[in-house]
Structure 1
Amino acid sequence: MSGILGIELRRSGALLAGTATAVLGVAGLYLLALTGQTGLWDQQWHLLAVFQRIMLVVLWPLALAAGAWQAGRDRRSRIEELLGTTPAPGWRRLRPSSLATALALAAGYLLVLAAGAPKVATAAGHPGSGWWAVVAVGVLALVAAGFLGLGLGRLLPYAYTPAVLGAGSLAGLLAAIEVTKLDDATVPGPALLLPFFTSTISEFQEVAGSVSTGQAWWLGGLALGGLVLYLATNRLVRLLAVVPPALGLALAAPMLTVTAFPVDTAAVAEVCTTDGGPRVCVTAAHSRKLAVLVAPAREGLRLLAKLPDAPASVHEAAPGRAHPQPASEAWLDSDNLSQAADPAELTARILAGAGTPLCARNEESAYLDVLRARAVAAAWLYGSHPVPGPAYAAAEQAQRDTMWKTLVALPAGEQERRVAAVRAAGLTCGDQAAALGIGAGR
């Protein structure tokens, strides 16, 4: 069997399909580097696993077409009738090609994982626990596409079948994304029946184990149905090919109502300094960044000491962290931790909002006013305006300059009171622009 399998791998289209899967997958990972977006997958193992699954929107149709092309090999070679005269059962003759297809596609998918692994290994703060299941289901999804292509290719042995299956499935999957699109991406519902995920996740989330289990049932049934369709030698057995997918769908149905991407409690757990100085904490997902944060954070605490009831520690605020914020803590948004490279800029970001994270959302009317109030408060604490950080358009910078001049023209006690009010508002997710009382007609 091993010798026959080796021949299949060398002479069939299986190896080419696996190679194409690996090349396209690796290109999909690293093309993001051209626009600085590798953060979509290189910060955590779960991110890499999920991003690989997203790429199945292209790789799955490729595997389907490759399977159909493989199934038509005998017909293209005009030896179909000759092979039919051999005494060996047809399924035994077809088995090596199905195994070769599965191995090649699985190897191609795992090579994509291997290509991304070194970059993730240097950035991931903690290994996570369920990402391997997401990868395994991705392998199963690709193998299911290959087997389904084999089955449909044998059922419809025409020259145009591979092209029609590839292009048609790609169009169908893209249409399915629109049909299954929901406002709440954490509960995708029917979208979980697709072989790929329709959105990425953050480094603080994971794929629920029940989702991976349900998808394994569904995709496993689809793979078995395609294999039965390919190996079947009579019409009755081919009709039975619908049973495994139907059973898999029934077993997978309960997953459609679960929260697909819950918070990874291990990822948001805190890792803190233990050197006896003011405490600085980050999430386990960003534990490799703790050393970089310590000095800017302690400088931020020194500057925040200008305020009454000043905080004594700095903590990374992961998305969704519950308020109210303890008055004894300064919080730093996770986005700021990953975006600031310069220590002085990182200190300024800690001082934004007087040590509180941003609560206003981009779609809110007061969003820009809140950003300006937070920046002016940071400048007052830092002692100069503007603080280190990105440059703004001239019109925006002019508004911030005006707010700054208005603040520092007030008596010293009033300046302190207003900045302290910005912090108090931020502790409870209140209106920090109103607390500062400067700008936008206030």
Structure 2
Amino acid sequence: MTLVTEKRTTRPAAPRPPHPLRAEVARGFAPWAGAAAFLTPAVLLAAEADRWQGGWAETRTELHAMQLVLVPLAAAAGCRQGGRERRRATEELWTTAVRGPLVRLLVAALPLALWVVAGYLLAATGALLATWPYARGDRPYPDLLPADAVVLLAAAVAGHVVGRLVAWRPAPPLLAAAGYVGLALCGRADAGAWRRLDPALPVSEGLVPVGWQPVALAVWAGGLAAAAVLAYALRGRRRWTVLLPLAAAAAAGGLLVRSGPGLWHANPSGSGQVCDTSTVPQICVNARYAGMLPQVTKALSGVTGRLEGVRNLPVRFEDRPGEPHDGEVQLPLLTPIGWSVVRGRLTDPEQYAWEAAAALQDRAKCGEPDARVRAADAAVSDYLAPNPAQGHFDELDAKGDAARRAELRERRTARARLASMGADERRTWLSAYFATVGDCHRNGVPAL
């Protein structure tokens, strides 16, 4: 008997088809839209880095300002994606898919929207990391980032719906232009209470939102986008569900409009002061830039050193919003960043010291002083912290008319007289001089 064994060959299992969502995420237009959402703020922020790098609140403000450009960009990208099937002439084929119209729309719209959000968040992370080495106090302010991300997501999805409805190739750029103009007009100061609905509304560095404001803004934008999606994708009795996100958006929008100025309040850290009490006057900087105090103290060391032992001085230099209190004098402002301070460093310590010394001599409320008082002021200013540009001004006066040349000679005489005094005599004279700074009786200014 012969046994015959039969070999059975098993066929390999057919490869599982990739999920449609994976193809939407990895290929096509969506990654390019994400790259544009990253590069646009990255380039704009890099071009103006001196204005924000080194201040956490300034970085928050600049990132939020990018919404003015990114929201129209997201809407235009979504609009282009929404018209894809029409351009490919595959609309009828797409309707034969097993999935319903809502799922089909979300599968096509969400990957691009998520790419746009990811690009923006990547640029925001880069900006925060770029600020961190130069920050001189305060803390990061990520409060607006989640709401900004939701707004971008909503803009991309709503733009996708517009792309499905409008069969016109110029629709994406026109939608972007209309969105930019609409946001700019809505954010104007004369737009009234409705400007609070603007997701790109400019935010001052000295303000922080109340806790629910970003949530309300996200619900407002997300509710409108969700209502547009449901109105387009659902049919029949299920269309009533459009009312749910629309009601949420209306409630959030009404809350934003009716809350008035209560949406924002002053940054608590902006009113605090950090002081060096070892000098006279004391030197205080805003608590948001507490790390700048050693630099400011060093820049003013020449002024405070020459004032040692002098009486009738203000108690302190202060750096906070509003008018100085009694016994205080305004320190030259560290803000806006990009002028006196760039990336956590004083740009011109000599100029800064001269401005601080000039604040000690402020006679603005007394009107224009006479030539004798001007000569005394110039002598004190030159002694405490010479104006870096004073030589240039003296040259111009030397070429002027007789009156200007005579005043120049008087100023030079006064400077020489003050410089030639002994230490005790100079302290006595300066004490008498500073006793008259807050007094508009010019006859009390001691002569030189």
Q: Which residue of 2 aligns with 1:227?
A: 229
What amino acid does structure 1 have at the position aligned with 2:22?
Answer: G
CA shift, 1:305, in A, is 4.2
Which letter does structure 2 place at the counterpart of 1:324?
A: H
Cα–Cα, structure 1 residues 415 and 46, in superposed 2: closer, same or farther, change >3 Å?
closer
Q: Which runs of 5+ in 2 are unaligned?
A: 1-16, 419-427
- Paired letter, 1:23: L
Partner of 2:424: none
Distance verdict in 2 for CA 1:97–1:374, change over 3 Å: farther
Runs of 5+ consecutive residues of structure 1 not aligned to the other structure: 183-187, 426-433
Deviation at 1:297, TM superposition (A): 3.0
Of residues 15, 23, 26 in structure 2, which corresponds to 1:10? 26
Q: Is the 8 A contact 1:214 1:254 kept in 2?
A: no
Asked if residue 346 in structure 1 is aligned to residue 352 in structure 2, the reply is yes
Which digits, 9 at most, give the CA deviation of each residue in 1:160-190, with x for residues without a partner?
3323312222232333344x437xxxxx732
Opposite residue 103 of structure 1, the aligned amino acid is L
Amino acid at match of 2:40: L
> Which residue identity lines up with residue 421 of structure 1 in the other structure?
T
| Cα deviation digits, residues 348-388 of structure 1 (max 9, x gap) | 222113277x988xxxx97x989xx8997375154278523
- After superposition, the C-alpha distances for 1:1-59 in whole angstroms (9 at most, x for unaligned) are 994333112233222222111111111111225xxxx22x2242232222222222221
Structure 1 401/166 Cα, relative in aligned 2: closer, same or farther at 3 Å?
farther
Aligned match of 1:166: 176
Shift of residue 126, structure 1, vs aligned partner: 3.3
Whether the aligned pair in 2 keeps the contact of 1:304 and 1:354 (CA below 8 Å) is no
TM-score, normalised via structure 2 length: 0.74
Of 108, 116, 122, 1:105 maps to 116
Aligned residues: percent identity?
23
Structure 2 residue aligned with 1:431: none
- Rounded to whole Å, the distance in 2 between the matches of 1:435 and 1:404 is 24
> Residue 195 in 1 paired to residue 199 in 2?
yes
CA shift in 2, pair 1:55/1:389, >3 Å: farther
Q: Secondary structure at the match of 1:334?
A: coil
1:227 CA drift (Å): 3.3
Partner of 2:299: 296
Distance, in Å, in 2 between the alignment partners of 1:216 and 1:404 is 67
**Over aligned residue pairs, what C-alpha RMSD do you find?**
4.1
Partner Cα distance (1:213, 1:222) in 2:
14
CA distance in 2, matches of 1:3, 1:286: 51
Could you tell me how far 1:69 is from its partner in structure 2? 1.0
CA shift for structure 1 position 217: 2.8
Which range is displaced more, 66-75 or 401-410?
401-410
> Which one is further off, 264-273 or 19-28?
264-273
Counterpart amino acid of 1:69?
R
Tell whether the 8 Å contact from 1:63 to 1:142 is kept in structure 2 after alignment.
yes
What TM-score do the two structures reach when normalised by structure 1?
Answer: 0.75
Q: Which residue of 2 aligns with 1:310?
A: 313
User: How is 1:251-262 mapped onto 2 (pairs within 5 angstroms)?
Assistant: 251-255=255-259, 257-262=260-265
**1:132/1:386 CA distance change after superposition, 3 Å:** closer
Aligned length: 401
* CA-CA distance at 1:123 after TM superposition: 2.8
Question: Which of the pair has more CA radius of gyration?
Answer: 2
Please state how far the C-alpha of 1:193 moved relative to its aligned partner. 0.9
Structure 2: how far apart are the matches of 1:109 and 1:118?
Answer: 14
Change (3 A) 1:72 1:437: farther
**Paired position in structure 1 for 2:215:** 213
- Is 1:153 paired with 2:163? yes
